[in-house]
Structure 1
Amino acid sequence: MVPHLITALTGPINELEQRIIDSMPAIERWFRLEWMEHTPPFYSSVDIRNSGFKLAPVDTNLFPGNWNNLTDQMLPLAVQATMAAIEKICPEARNLLIIPENYNRNPSYLSNLAQLQRIFKMAGLNARLGSISPDIKKPTELKLPNGETVLLEPVIRTKRRIGLKHFDPCTILLNNDLSAGAPGILEELYEQYLLPPLHAGWSVRRKSRHFQSYEEVAKRFGKLLGIDHWLINPLFAKAEGLDFTEGANTGMDNLAAQVDALLTKVRRKYKEYGIKEKPFAIVKADNGTYGMGVMTVRDAKELDELTKKARNKMGIIKDGQMVQDVIIQEGVQTSERMHDAVAEPVVYTLDRYVVGGFYRMHPERGVDENLNAPGSSYVPLAFAHSTHMPQPGMHPGASAPNRFYMYGVIARLAMLSASYELEATNPDAEVYD
């Protein structure tokens, strides 16, 4: 199923697509050399926006859910990538423990866990679900919409390891983003591999740090291709020490100033490229997740008029965490539609490989709004061919594999940026003077 792109198939995005297809050997060699120096995050999902003149990632999730939205045709890619990743980490691995979100009983999330189990089992691992939630005190079977079940079992901590009753895993996979902080039961596990590491959780991670790394990667990649890196890089700024409670004004003047400065930069770029659209900014929690703590701002003056409801939505995110720091990101509108709904591609990676993805679409949201919100739905990306098999010689925009290869390149740039980011924030990294 190929999306209907309402953007005219001319202009910078097609020039970019053509440049990427023509440069495929150089691009693949560039990535290959990067992965010799850096370790990819174990898995990730990357939200991408295609405006017709710009293609850029707007979020990178290191604890991706929604694996259930990948089609059966995509599973072989995920299984092969899992095998490659596990061989590097723990070649003799037999048992793998998946740690899910503590209180999430959403049927879609449970289906995501079942899909992850399926992928790891097909990769030759005994994969079981171990909950660290206080309310799971005994093995608990939960039913899925398709009639299948998943079994959550309470995690048992010994002195240096965690596991389940009669189940000792070599590797622990977190599908829990640790928004409320790293629980003690997961700390000081010196004898097991923990993927992703604790410092990838939102209690440590910051979006602004990620996009700082992405900007560095985009500049180098832009130089490789001979393009303006702005075409693949959303400008950003950050504001700290905010208070979104009603009547409070702490940090709001600084936020307004940062929004105004960012919009001014974007206007300059629009003028340079002859773009007639009105720029906008997305303000979101710097450690946010699940699409919470996000708002669209078209003029800094709008911040003076935030309603109580808007402040409440911005002020508190997952697990009751207060928002004090935000990233202000150049808004990249989406010009893609599926079934008459605004849509954006989400690309999934495992190890250093693109393994699939889907379109997130929302019939009630505009082209300049966050689509990761209640009411969104998913349509698989048209990976009829591997994302690594573009079709040289095709007219830009005419080939779905070419468009999806381009998405895969952007997703891998974001994944590489995440590896830079995790290296920079690793508390166990050696520091040299």
Structure 2
Amino acid sequence: MIPHLITSSGDPVLELEQRILEAQPSIERWFRLEWMEHTPPFYSSVDLRNAGFKLAPVDTNLYPGGFNNLSPEMMPLAVQAAMAAIEKICPEAKNLLVIPENHTRNTFYLENVHTLMRIFRQAGLNVRLGSLDETVTEPMHLKLPSGGELVVEPLIRNKLRLGLKDFDPCTILLNNDLSGGIPPILQGLHEQYLLPPLHAGWAVRRKSKHFHAYDDVAKKFAKLIGVDPWMLNPYFAQCGKVNFHERHGEDCLAEAVDSVLAKVRKKYKEYGIQEKPFVIVKADAGTYGMGVMTVRDPSEVKDLNRKTRNKMSVVKEGMEVSEVLIQEGVPSVERLQEAVCEPVVYMMDRYVVGGFYRVHADRGPDENLNAPGMHFVPLAFEEQFNVTHPEAAPGTNGPNRFYMYGVIARLAMVAASYELERTDPETELG
């Protein structure tokens, strides 16, 4: 199902789509060269926003938790990508240990874990689940709405190796974003591959560092295809040492909001865009759409009411928010049955393996859609995303639109590889 795209024939994003389709050979060569120099994250997902006048990533997740929302037709792509990723890291791999999030009663999330396990089993691995939750002291059987079952087992640490009873894995795949910190049981595993690396977790990672890296990628790519980098890149600023409860850092936040809005207004004037600019203020670390608010004027971040301060002060795992990202808001023009939606693209290794639309009937085009009440619609095109139709008019063909989504998402994936290199503690120490 393809949503009705509210765009016009003169839409800049349609021109961007045309540029991308015309430059496909150069683009694919550019990506190949990037992957010769850099290592892609093991898996990732990217939230995109299509404003009609720009298409940009607004969030990149290195512990994607929605594989169950992908179209079944895309599963063969995921299995092939998993095979390629594992062969590159540990060709002799036999056993894979998956470590899920601790909130293992969330059935939507558990279906994601079940899908991940199925992908890696079909890629030729023995797959079992081990929990970081210390209350899990014996195998726990969890029934799934789809009719399947997961068995979550207690982890066993032995010297430099981590495994389960009678199960010694070559590779450990984290599907836990470490928002609550890095547990000692995962540290010092010098004889096993831990994917993603520990510094990819939210205990260490910052969105602002990712978007600094994305700045570099977007400039290079925009030069390659001859477009303004702003067409695919949101402005942003970062503000540290914020305390919403004690109302510290409000001046810093207001100044950052004012600075980003001023840059956006200048671009809107340049392109004759009549929309009122806004920014999204969100925690610089963390996920699940927590700690996010839409701001249209610097005055709005001063004298926040108690409810908003409480909402912004804590994210997943009770993590206190002390640093925030102020990001240019990209309004979504995409609709599915009149509801605002945004594309989310899933990748494994260097490959796009599918995606879906996040849909929210009760949210506006300038609001965060990753909130209670959202639902997902798989991107289920008749053909695979990489089979483009260059002769078709921009905006009229599903595979062409999804190919463009995949290109922008892969730019964010390249940025994530830069980011992980730059924040690698071993590199920093070296």
Distance (Å, rounded) in 1 between the aligned partners of 2:378 and 2:9: 22
**Matching residue's letter, 1:6:** I
- What TM-score does the superposition give when structure 2 sets the normalisation length? 0.99
CA apart distance, 1:146: 1.6
Report the TM-score, using the length of structure 1 for normalisation.
0.98
243, 262, 283: which is aligned to 1:264? 262
CA offsets 1:69-118 (integer angstroms, 9 cap, x no match): 11211100000000001110000100000000112311001101100000
What do residues 22-65 of structure 1 show as CA deviations (whole Å, max 9, x unaligned)?
00000000000000000000000000000111000000000000
Measured in 1, the distance between the counterparts of 2:37 and 2:93 equals 24
2:184 is aligned with 1:184 = yes
- C-alpha contact 1:237 1:258 (8 A) present in aligned 2: yes
Look up the equivalent residue of 1:272 and give its one-letter code.
E
Please name the residue that 2:33 is paired with. 33
For residues 307-346 of structure 1, the aligned pairs below 5 Å read 307-346=305-344
User: Is 2:119 aligned against 1:119?
Assistant: yes
1:81/1:350 contact within 8 Å kept: yes
SS in 1 for 2:169: coil
Three-state SS of the structure 1 residue aligned to 2:355 is strand
> Contact 1:50–1:336 at 8 Å: present in 2 too?
yes
Show the counterpart of 2:294.
296
* Structure 2 residue 352 is the aligned partner of structure 1 residue 361: no
Aligned partners of 2:147, 2:354: CA distance in 1, in Å?
Answer: 25
How far does the alpha carbon of each residue in 1:108-135 deviate from its partner, in whole angstroms, 9 at most, with x for none?
A: 0110110000000000000111111012
Partner of 2:194: 194
Q: Secondary structure at the match of 1:429?
A: helix
Aligned residues: 430
Q: After superposition, where does 1:410-421 map in structure 2 within 5 Å?
A: 410-421=408-419
Structure 1: state its 5+ residue gaps. none
Corresponding position: 1:207 with 2:201 = no
Return the offset for 1:313: 0.4
Specify the SS of the correspondent of 2:96: strand
Deviations 1:207-249 (A, max 9, x none): 000000001000000000111000000000011101100xx33
Distance 2:428 2:108 in 1: 41
Q: Is the 8 A contact 2:71 2:380 kept in 1?
A: no
Identical aligned residues as a percent: 65
Task: Describe how 1:201-280 pairs up with structure 2 within 5 A.
Answer: 201-245=201-245, 248-280=246-278
Q: CA deviation at 1:430?
A: 6.4
Alignment pair present for 1:75 and 2:75 = yes
Alignment of 1:328-407 (within 5 A): 328-407=326-405
Aligned to 2:88: 88
Map Cα deviations across residues 161-202 of structure 1 (whole Å, 9 max, x no partner): 000100100000000000111100000000100000000000
For residues 298-333 of structure 1, the C-alpha deviation after alignment (integer angstroms, 9 at most, x for no partner) is 011111241111000000111111101000000001
Kept in 2: contact 1:356–1:383 (CA 8 A): no
- In structure 2, how many angstroms separate the alpha carbons of the residues matched to 1:404 and 1:335? 16
Q: 123-132 vs 102-111, which deviates more?
A: 102-111
State the one-letter code of the partner of 1:250: H
8 Å contact from structure 2 (residues 199, 424) kept in 1:
yes
Aligned letter for 1:406?
A: M
Check conservation: 1:382, 1:400, Cα contact below 8 A. no
Q: CA deviation at 1:382?
A: 3.1
The CA deviation at 1:431 is 6.1
SS in 1 for 2:390: coil
Do the aligned partners of 1:95 and 1:126 also contact (CA within 8 Å) in 2?
yes
Aligned position for 1:159: 159
Deviations 1:338-394 (A, max 9, x none): 122110000000000000000000111100000001111000013322221111111
Greater alpha carbon shift after TM alignment, 181-190 vs 298-307: 298-307
CA contact (8 A) 2:73 2:380 kept: no
Gapped regions of structure 2 (runs ≥ 5) = none
The Cα RMSD (Å) is 0.9
Counterpart AA for 2:307 = K
- 1:93 aligns to what SS in structure 2? coil
